[in-house]
Amino acid sequence: MSNIDRRTLVKGSLAAMMAGAAFSRTAFADGEPILLGVSGPLTGPNAQYGTQWKQGFDLALDEIVAAGGINGRKLAYNFEDSQSDPRQSVAIAQKFVSNPAIVMELGDFSSPASMAASPIYQRAGLVQFGFTNSHPDFTKGGDFMWSTSVSQADEQPLLASYAVKRLGLKKLAVLHLNTDWGRTSRDYFVNAAKEYGAEIAVTEGYIAEERDFRSTLVRVRDANPDGLVLISYYSDGALIARQARQVGLKQVICAASSVYSPKFLELGGDAVEDVHVGTRYFPEDPRPEVQKFIAGFKKKYNGLEPDAFNAYAYDAMNMAAAVVRIGGTDRKAIRDAFTKVKDVPSVIFGAATFDVATRRVKGAMNAELVVRKGQFALWDGKPT
């Protein structure tokens, strides 16, 4: 009895999987869209970032298709949910590499999920374009790993310069997410801040699920800094800012660009007023690519303000389009096209060109913002 259970179950699952593969294969014919694979979280603890990617992708695709597509063909993506789980991202990787319609892969979100899949993409010769993968070893996985994630070696000195040189802070407390990103960022920040003459009073790493920072903030208070630096995402950044104000810390707060989101303002409320944020773009930025992005985003999503993750995804899709324009649909030619694309218009970089040695993009734009009256505004140089 259960023997039948077992075999039917297994057979059923195999049949369903093969049916899935067959379906995407028949869908591929000339005139059909050029297909990109996306591996990212749509459910699970990181699901919010996957949904933000989608918003950015969809906007970019609308613009690409409206501009005539790629040599007359549409561009489309196939988003597979990995839950940021390495076990699922490797299965997705096999699915993508064995589907000839997929010309390039984007993602995953977390380092364990992304880098676990890298060997599969590398061996199969499919580009893994990890546009949020700041882990310093991500692009070392092989010559098919490319990233437009802002290098923390670039970003953190800019933030340090904002905090130390421009705001004149001399003794800093650094609070960082204790992840590969947060840890790498902290090290670059601390080095740069010291170089600019500031003292680091204390650094505290916290895990992503943490919600209560009161005791951490007592440690910060006892270290007696004149400024707090948050290497955080927007939800935890807002929590820290709120609790800092609640326990009576009145120091200047500076935050990394990853808090740049309307959600930061919503979740932080009054507590994030006067928080300084080093970002890559800002709403009034006169650069045409920024204006186009923000106007288009608000139009498509009923007035919603885009955030940093929307921008990364939007840029990534535009970069993918630029690469496919040069490389066509051959996977290896696409890899080579990454070395050839020049000055692709980008919200984050202004114009993005890959450094062929590191397979990353250097020279992120810089904007020094501050929260004024519940809105992000360009900092006017006045002390807070």
Q: Which of residues 186-205 bind another protein (CB under 8 A)?
A: 204-205
Give Dmax (Cα) for the chain: 78
* Cβ count within 10 A of residue 3: 7
Please give the Cα distance from 76 to 84 (Å, whole number).
Answer: 22
Q: Which is nearer to another protein, 133 or 329 (CB)?
A: 133
Q: Which is nearer to another protein, 42 or 294 (CB)?
A: 42
Q: Is 210 in the site for another protein (CB under 8 A)?
A: yes
Contact range with another protein by CB under 8 A, out of 12-20, 163-171, 338-346, 351-359: 12-20
Cis upstream peptide for 143 (omega within 30°): no
Q: Is 310 in the site for another protein (CB under 8 A)?
A: no
* Residue 251 · residue 225 · CB < 8 Å: yes
Q: Is 180 in the site for another protein (CB under 8 A)?
A: yes
For the CB of residue 86, give the shortest distance to another protein in the complex, in Å. Answer: 5
Query: Containing H/E element for 137?
Result: none
Contact range with another protein by CB under 8 A, out of 79-87, 143-151, 193-201, 325-333: 79-87
Q: Is 375 in the site for another protein (CB under 8 A)?
A: no
Contact range with another protein by CB under 8 A, out of 17-25, 65-73, 287-295, 334-342: 17-25
Q: Is 91 in the site for another protein (CB under 8 A)?
A: yes
For the CB of residue 17, give the shortest distance to another protein in the complex, in Å. Answer: 5
Q: Which is nearer to another protein, 48 or 353 (CB)?
A: 48
Angle at 151 between CA 282 and CA 210, to 5 degrees: 80
Q: Is 3 in the site for another protein (CB under 8 A)?
A: yes
Helices (H), the chain: 2-26, 47-66, 86-97, 111-124, 152-160, 180-195, 214-223, 234-246, 262-268, 288-300, 308-327, 331-340
Please give the Cα distance from 191 to 198 (Å, whole number).
Answer: 10
Least Cα distance to 173 among 107, 224, 126 occurs for: 224
Q: Which is nearer to another protein, 212 or 330 (CB)?
A: 212
Among residues 71, 94, 224, 384, which is the contact residue for another protein, using CB under 8 A? 94
Residue whose tokens read 């590499």: 97
Ranges within 249-288 binding another protein (CB under 8 A): 263, 266-269
At 349 the three-state DSSP class reads coil
Q: Which is nearer to another protein, 187 or 336 (CB)?
A: 187
Q: Is 111 in the site for another protein (CB under 8 A)?
A: yes
